[in-house]
Structures are given as C-alpha cells and as structure tokens.
C-alpha cells in the first residue's frame, strides 16, 4: 500500500471545530482516488495532513509503509516526496517555463533531460522559452503538472486543478491529466467539489461531509450504489 490514512482526527480552535473525524483512506501504487465534498467538508485539511502542512490530533499516516505522522512521529513535508498541483497553477511569473519546471530538480545531474521529458509528456515541448503569461490557462495547468511530476513524487496531489478553466478546456484537460497519470503510473489524490471530474478521472472515490467519510470505494460502485442521501444527490446532479 502506497498511502494509508488510519483513523485520523483533526480539530481547530482548541478542539471546538472538528475538521476531520476518524478518517481512513488507503491507496495502492498507480491508482487515482478522488476526494469529493463541498466547502468545509475537510478535503483541504486531509491533504494538508498528508503533505505534512498540518499536524494530526489522532491517528496515523503512512507512506510506503513508513509512518510520517502520528502522535509521536512527524516527518517534515520536504522529506515525504509528495507533489502538489494547485488550482491557481502557482507558477513563477518571472521564470521561463523551462526554469519553472527545473526549479524543483535543480540538483539533478540530468535536469535538462528531465525537463524536456515532462514537457514532451504534457505536449508543451515547444514552450520551454515562454513565460507563464504567454500561455493559456490550460497550458499553464499542464506546466504545473509537468513541474510536479519532474521530481518523480511517490504521491501526487491535485487540488481543484480545473476550477479556473472553462467547460470545454476542462473536459479536454481532464482526459489529458488522466492519460498522463496512467502513462507515468503516478499514484494520485484528486481533490474536487465537481463529481463529474471525480468520475472521469478516478479509480476510487471518497466522499466527505463535515469531516466525516460518507462513502468510499471503487468509483463505479459508489456511483451505482450510493449509500447515503447526500452521496445520491451528488450523482443525481451530474
């Protein structure tokens, strides 16, 4: 198992706000899990705990069978080998596309070759000398994906990656991202409030509401057999 989240709890404001309540999740190598839920459901808190940007109150998180978070162990984010793709791309505006991607792999001896490799993968091999403002939103999101893939992370987290894109571009990029993740055998967590994105991209799905897991399992099975009225409503609104 590449990722295991076991009985994780997280509260804020001295315990008054329960962000996550006994949440568990497991993910095998090469699979994509979608974490779905409305604002305030706990999606962001969960990925911040997995990346190490927050400290858990209870439970355990393991990456490749190694404990990275528990009541007694905390591995810093930079040592977890978890990549992130943000909804706002988070590209350096004064860097070329090449330099944006190379930034996180500056110590690699084959840096140039690796940048070209991931640019080819996302279909932007001719854009390495451009700057972010010279690219479309979809192209910028591909650059963000290439940059996240460049260090070959054990786990890649995509946080609402399509929220700033129009419908046509969103549909195309959705297909491209899934293809790229599968071609590279990348294990990924896809965070979204859009159930259509989740269905199209993921192998598995986890539905959160108010910090609680309502249902989780293989995407097709959850879609065909919702166990909760809220989950049923999500799929009805596609």
- pLDDT in the model for residue 235: 86
Which residue ranges make up each domain of the chain? 3-81+153-236, 88-145
CATH superfamily of the 3-81+153-236 domain? P-loop containing nucleotide triphosphate hydrolases (3.40.50.300)
Q: Identify the CA nearest to 50 among candidates 62, 35, 32, 33.
A: 62
DSSP at 105: G
What does the pLDDT average to over 48-66? Answer: 97
Q: What is the pTM of this model?
A: 0.93
User: Within a 10 A sphere around the Cβ of 152, how many other Cβ atoms?
Assistant: 14
Q: In which band, very low, low, confident or very high, does the pLDDT at 158 lie, cut at 50, 70 and 90?
A: very high
Mean pLDDT for the stretch of residues 148-162: 94
pLDDT exceeds 80 at position 233: yes
Could you give the CA distance from residue 238 to residue 218 in angstroms, rounded to a whole number? 18
Express each pLDDT in 166-225 by its tens digit.
888 888 888 899 999 999 999 999 999 889 899 999 999 999 999 999 999 999 999 999
Q: What is the pLDDT of residue 225?
A: 94
Instruction: Classify strands 82-85 and 155-159 as parallel, antiparallel or unpaired.
Output: parallel
Element (H, E) at 100: helix 97-102
What lies within 8 Å, CB to CB, of 5 at 6+ separation is 23, 24, 25, 26, 46, 49, 50, 59, 60, 61
- Position 65 scores a pLDDT of 96
pLDDT number for residue 214: 96
Instruction: Please give the mean pLDDT across all residues of the chain.
Output: 94
* pLDDT for residue 238: 72
Q: Which of 157, 34, 27 is nearest to 87 (CA)?
A: 157
pLDDT over 90 (residue 31): yes
Residue 165 or 85, more confident: 85
Please say if the pLDDT value at position 163 is more than 90.
no
For position 56, what pLDDT does the model report? 96
Confidence of residue 236 (pLDDT cuts 50, 70, 90): confident
């Amino acid at each position: 198992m590449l990722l295991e989240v076991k009985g994780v709890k997280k509260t804020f404001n001295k315990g008054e706000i329960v962000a996550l309540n006994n949440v568990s999740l497991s993910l095998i190598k090469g699979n994509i899990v979608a974490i779905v839920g409305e604002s305030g459901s706990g999606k962001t808190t969960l990925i911040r705990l997995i990346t190490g940007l927050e400290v858990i109150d209870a439970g355990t998180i393991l990456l490749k069978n190694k404990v990275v978070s528990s009541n007694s162990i905390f591995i810093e984010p930079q040592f977890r080998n978890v990549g992130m793709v943000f909804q706002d791309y988070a590209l350096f505006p004064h860097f070329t596309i090449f330099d944006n991607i190379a930034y996180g792999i500056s110590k690699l001896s084959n840096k140039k070759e690796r940048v070209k490799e991931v640019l080819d993968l996302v279909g932007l091999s001719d854009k390495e000398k451009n700057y972010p403002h010279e690219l479309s939103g979809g192209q910028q999101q591909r650059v963000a994906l290439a940059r996240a893939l460049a260090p070959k992370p054990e786990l890649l987290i995509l946080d609402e990656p399509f929220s700033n894109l129009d419908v046509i571009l969103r549909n195309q990029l959705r297909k491209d991202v899934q293809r790229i993740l599968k071609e590279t055998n990348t294990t990924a967590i896809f965070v979204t409030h859009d159930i259509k994105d989740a269905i199209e991209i993921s192998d598995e799905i986890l539905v959160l509401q108010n910090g609680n897991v309502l249902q989780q399992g293989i995407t097709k099975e959850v879609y065909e057999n919702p166990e909760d009225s809220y989950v049923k409503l999500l799929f009805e609104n596609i």
